[in-house]
Amino acid sequence: MELINNITSPEKCIIVGIGRKNSDREIAKEHLDELELLAKTAGAEVLERIYQELEKPNPATAIGKGKVQEIKELIQEKYIQLVIFDDDLTPVQARNLEKEFNVKVMDRTGLILDIFAQHARTNEAKTQVELAQLEYLLPRLTRMWTHLSKQYGGIGTKGPGETQIESDRRLIRRRIQKLKAKLEEIDTQKEQQRKGRNTLPRFALIGYTNAGKSTLMNLLTNADVLVEDKLFATLDTTVRAFEFTDEFGKATKILISDTVGFIRKLPANLVASFRSTLAEAREADYLLHIIDSSEKNYIEHIKTVEETLKSLNIKDKPILKVFNKIDLIQDKHDLQQLIESNPDGIFISAQRGINIPKLLQEMQKLINNRIDVFKLEFNWNEMDKVSQIYSKWDVVKRFDEDNKISLIVKVPNEQKEKFINQYSRYIMDMLNDRPANEETNSDGLEANDKKSDDGYVKNIIRDTRRDIRYVVYSNHKLSRREMLDEVKKFNYNPLNIRQKPGTTIEIYAEGIK
């Protein structure tokens, strides 16, 4: 009994690059290297690489007649089954080349779409890929079915009838509409899922494909995301929770998402189709830009990622550049030069766990930049307020003393005003941005005290937000809470006129006037 071998041999292919006259040959070589890796990822075997410099691409065949003939001979000689071009081909160019070569002809976009189709696992990814493929296919339908015309009888139906290509286009457009509607539903579901995670800081891993995002994701969260030395091994967004200890010794929970990798000349329709997947990067609080530091052309990769973010309207987000794979840099001088050239970067190896504590430290700094830390004091008979703080806010430290309870509370920047308005009389200090040598109250009140001419203590408070100076006269030095109480009494009194910025208000505490 003979066993059937189901293993298919890779397709033999030629890859073709086209450059402008006098263009950089080294960059052209790197682009062909990337195209070869794309071809291998798709399952093809590259036997020949062709490069031609032209003033402008031939509108009929993209390359010159001599190169067309050279490739035809290589196809015959090496039994080539596929020819892949690094640049996008027009429908006319692709059709003419297939007629000349008598084998499949594919451009870079078609190749990337094929890789995405192979790697799509979830219903969402498959829907996104199918939509991108159909939008790519629609203008490339050829009139190969014109002999199959549909002719219907009856009044008003006379004419050439509906050709097969017209029917195909109509069916494809209808399918595109259904897929877009399906993706809208997926977008809505994803949005609801993200709303449920809004209370936690969110990091998104972004970067050029094969930079090591999934390896880092697995290291930090044990997510078991597929890791392969291939382009676009990860298509589906994976979101996992991760905990690390903050500067107060408390476990901080964050969310990390691994997104699809970017690449040079990423097809626009593919970016549009994957908008729900890429939305994780758009909705994240912080971005970790993972860079393959062993890649000679890493600067171009950084530029590609930044341009893609711009096209997705992702801007004004804190970004931490993480240079991965430093263990693959053999020359210490090259590594030192990389570090000196990128002073704002973090240099790690996710594969070997090198410098990961430094990365976590920088991630914590990013979070701290968006958080205000307050110190509050309560009397023991104010436990209802203490309980309220615990139920609504992030309490990181508590100190119990004989006559009071002190809490250290973290508050997101966007909720700072709400927190101050609600708990201003209990706030003793703001720990994260108090200027040195100056006591500044957390609601913008700077305080000091001195003696007045009549012997009263002048407690001076400045509201830095409204630019109003309060002078509170009293028999003794007032605590911050007492000063705040006097200012509140004044401001809450309807008989007092609301003052303009830049004015000074004199207030006399009870019992001295």
**Tokens matching residue 23:** 């263009």
Does domain 370-442 correspond to CATH entry 3.30.70? yes
**Tokens matching residue 310:** 């711009």
Q: Which of 242, 359, 355, 262 is nearest to 311 (CA)?
A: 262
Is there a common fold for 11-115 and 370-442? Answer: no
- Strand order through the sheet with 104-107: 44-54, 11-20, 82-85, 104-107
Residue 127 CA: distances (Å) to CA of 24, 116, 182, 277, 499: 39, 11, 8, 12, 60
Query: Which pLDDT belongs to residue 342?
Result: 93
Low-confidence ranges of the chain (pLDDT < 70): 1-8, 142-164, 190-191, 193-199, 223-237, 267, 269-270, 272-277, 279, 432-456, 459, 461-467, 491-503, 509-513
Residue 449 CA: distances (Å) to CA of 254, 454, 466: 43, 14, 20
* pTM for the whole structure: 0.68
**Tokens matching residue 187:** 């977008």
Q: Which of 498, 484, 419 is nearest to 446 (CA)?
A: 484
- Partnered with residue 243 across adjacent β-strands are 253
Query: Which pLDDT belongs to residue 445?
Result: 44
Does domain 11-115 correspond to CATH entry 1.10.8.10? no
Reading phi first (left if > 0) and then psi (alpha if -120 to 50, else beta), residue 371 is in: beta
Rounded Cα distance between 281 and 205, Å, is 8
Helix count and strand count (H, E) for the chain: 15, 18
**What are phi and psi for residue 371, nearest 5 degrees?**
-130, 140
Query: Residues 451-455: contacts with CB within 8 Å, 24+ apart?
Result: none
What does the domain layout of the chain look like in residue ranges?
Answer: 11-115, 120-143+161-194, 197-365, 370-442, 444-513
Class (C level, CATH) for 197-365: alpha beta
**Tokens matching residue 121:** 């696992």
Measured at the CA of 431, the angle between CA 428 and CA 433, to 5 degrees, comes to 120
Which stretches within 248-399 are classed as H helix? 268-273, 275-283, 298-311, 332-341, 356-368, 383-392
Cβ(21)–Cβ(55) below 8 Å: yes
How many CA atoms, within 13 angstroms, populate the side-chain half-sphere of residue 61?
Answer: 18
Rounded Cα distance between 259 and 309, Å, is 13
Largest CA distance in the chain: 115
Q: How many Cβ atoms from other residues are within 10 Å of residue 103's Cβ?
A: 19
